[in-house]
Structure 1
Amino acid sequence: MAETTGILIAQLLSLFLSSLFWGIFLITFIQSIRCLLWDSKGIRKSASIISWPMLIVAVLLALFPTFDVALGLAQNIEAIKSFASPINGSAARLPSALTNWSIILKTCNLVVGKLISDGAWVYRCWVVHNRKWLIIAFPTFLWLSYLCLSIYAICEEVQSAGNPLLVFTGSTSSRIVDITASAWAISLVNNFLTNGLIVHRIRQVDKENSMYTAAQDAGSVRTRIHIRTLFDQRQRTRLQNVMLVIIESGLLYTTVALISFIAFLSGSTSFYATSSAEIQILSIAFNLVIIRSARPNDDVQMSTGRNHPTFPLRSLVIGEDAAEVSSMNEETWRGGKL
């Protein structure tokens, strides 16, 4: 009885948190769509400028938080029915009311959402590194591994649909727990890796731009470069601002995912709430990157000075074609050194 009551409380908390974060997500989603389709002056962008891959991902990631709230509401309605039923209405019927199709759909919703989000980060990493396949070879392998393990875990769950799975840790199949834990760990590692590769590339280009600017301003005189502090807002370049945006958004989602992972391994009923919050924050973090990187202007490129190398910030964060421009930047930089 106590365990069943704890599950019911966890479900109610899950619905509350998912509804709360869904409201925040809705605000960020509308703003991100505005940044993708309109410039800062309210002028509609042409189809050639719009980043269609990121627009599609943003729309897809809007479906999963909404579906999660709907599933949470359905689960709580079923739980209330199990208590209020005049025939055999008792807490004993609660586990069967919360398992089967609702738990399977909730699992699929979270898995597919993480797959799309992780894939978007791998795509961004690929674009930032001038579409070099070798750079994303290992992240792609991790993404495919997560896909395979997730499909296998869902198939096992469907076959055992009559038993409480995933969240009902007291009778969870150890095989499903192991598979799910492995997939979750792979997703976390992939997030750390892709974020690190993107930040490293931005830092590298920002350093080259700073060196080129100093060389142009000083002429042939050797100038000692002052390295700007990343967290000093008055001295940050726009590339450093973008780097900070990616770090903060990555940490936001990764922290929640790690908490949810720990709750799952510990067998705590708090996994209900943390997993519901994770799918919401996953989409929020994605939208925040688009919103914050679109400020303070909507220029496709940020120049460091007259005839200085440029770096496509919109391409770097929103996913437009950056390979050609970045290659030109490197050639210009080499020419400036010579």
Structure 2
Amino acid sequence: MTEDSGIVIVQLLALFLSSFFWGIYLITFVQSIRCLLWDSKGIRKSASTISWPMLVVAVLLALFPAFDVALGLTQNIEAIKSFASPINGSASQLPSALTNWTIMLKTCNGVVGTLISDGAWVYRCWVVYNRRWLIIALPMFLWLSYLSLSIYVICVEVQSVHGNLFPLFRASALQFDPMIISGFSVSLFNNFLTHGLIVHRIRQVDKETSLYTTGSHYTRDPIHTFSGQTRKRTRLQNVILVIIESGLLYTTTALISFSTFLADSLSFYATSSMEIQVLSIAFNLVIIRNARPNDDVQLSTGGYHPNPTFPLRNLATAEDAAEVSSKNEARWSGEKP
């Protein structure tokens, strides 16, 4: 199999994978919008209870998977035209990644999608820690670093396609691969960092609130231990599990895509197309799986505290659960939330 035919086969595989995961994404998108705008009883939420930042991000992330599929279809149509040409019937006319507007747009599509998703996780981290800017100083620095690297890479690609559009980037093509590797590394580390900070905070809040609550705050999901005993998992423990699983879903896909790029493999076309789909799916799964089937669940506190209960209504996102718990923790200790 020649390199030209290999490119065409990989492009077809990329279109198949992106279309397959786009179908899965559409299902999760509809469910996430339902969870954000309606409660479990089908009643429309009031404007004050809707998580507007998460709704905006969910809608924005809906654009990138669809655009990626459209660009993949365009690439395959161009490949078929190249083969069908009676004069130059060869896939060698397919431009490389640095000289093709379609692939450049796919790069921009993936970069902007990653920026929005990473920014949403930084926002969640900020909210979970009661809007303390010092906590997100490093994640925000990493996010801005990824933004700078992305602008640099996009300018290099545009320069390679359109001659003298950006004179400052004329001799920067040799540094293209290191910039992409740096961008991948920064984004992956920022994901690990923000997920870890959020999990740590929610776990801390869960331990502290367990001192003031009775058994009514447990969910119906039992945990089976090695000794054969069962214990029930709290709501916030479920939130932690959801965040870890969704984070692993995306980071595993991103690591696979990163590995194929480092190996200089043609399969990078397929894995990168799959990555933007999985990124949006993982974001929606956090919203869906943290939406409680019962919106009237309450936590009961001990008899020594003046505020015996607080409702866990409309907690469609992980940061809401931690924020409500931390505010009530401050209330129990006599502080102002």
TM-score normalised per structure 2: 0.85
**Aligned with 1:303 (options 293, 299, 321):** 299
Report deviation, 1:53: 0.6
Q: Counterpart in 1 of 2:254?
A: 257
What is the deviation of 1:173? Answer: 4.2
Deviating above 6 A after TM superposition, structure 1's stretches of 4 or more consecutive aligned residues are 228-233
Q: CA deviation at 1:162?
A: 7.3
Map of 1:76 onto structure 2: 76
- Measure the CA separation in 2 of the matches of 1:41 and 1:140: 38
Structure 1 residue 327: deviation in Å? 3.5
Instruction: After superposition, give the CA deviation of every residue in 1:62-98 in whole Å (9 maximum; x if it has no partner).
Output: 0000000000000000000001012322232123699
Unaligned 5+ segments in structure 1 are: 164-171, 218-227
Q: Which residue of 2 aligns with 1:290?
A: 287
Structure 1: distance between partners of 2:3 and 2:237: 49
Q: Is the CA contact (8 Å cut-off) linking 1:61 and 1:113 kept in structure 2?
A: yes
The 2-side partners of 1:302 and 1:16 are apart by 46
2:270 aligned to which of 260, 265, 273: 273
Unaligned residue ranges in structure 2 (runs of 5+): 164-171
RMSD over equivalenced CA pairs, Å: 2.9
Classify the secondary structure of the residue corresponding to 2:131. coil
Q: Give the distance between the partners of 2:289 and 2:206, measured in 1 at CA.
A: 18
Structure 2 distance, partners of 1:173, 1:289, is: 39
Q: Tell whether the 8 Å contact from 2:208 to 2:329 is kept in structure 1 after alignment.
A: no
- Whether the 8 Å CA contact 2:195–2:244 is kept in 1: the answer is yes
- Residues 1-338 of structure 1 mapped to structure 2, 5 A cutoff: 2-95=2-95, 99-161=99-161, 173-213=173-213, 235-299=232-296, 302-305=298-301, 307-308=307-308, 317=317, 326-332=326-332, 334=333
**What is the Cα deviation at residue 330 of structure 1?**
2.5
The alpha carbon displacement at 1:296 in A equals 2.8
Q: Give the C-alpha shift of residue 319 in structure 1.
A: 5.2
Structure with higher strand content? 2
Q: 1:270 to 1:231 in 2, by over 3 A?
A: farther
Normalising by structure 1, what TM-score? Answer: 0.85
- Matched residue of 1:303: which SS? strand
In 2, Cα distance between the equivalents of 1:242 and 1:309?
20
Is the partner of 1:236 in helix, strand or coil?
Answer: strand
Give 3-state SS (helix, strand or coil) of 1:24's partner.
helix
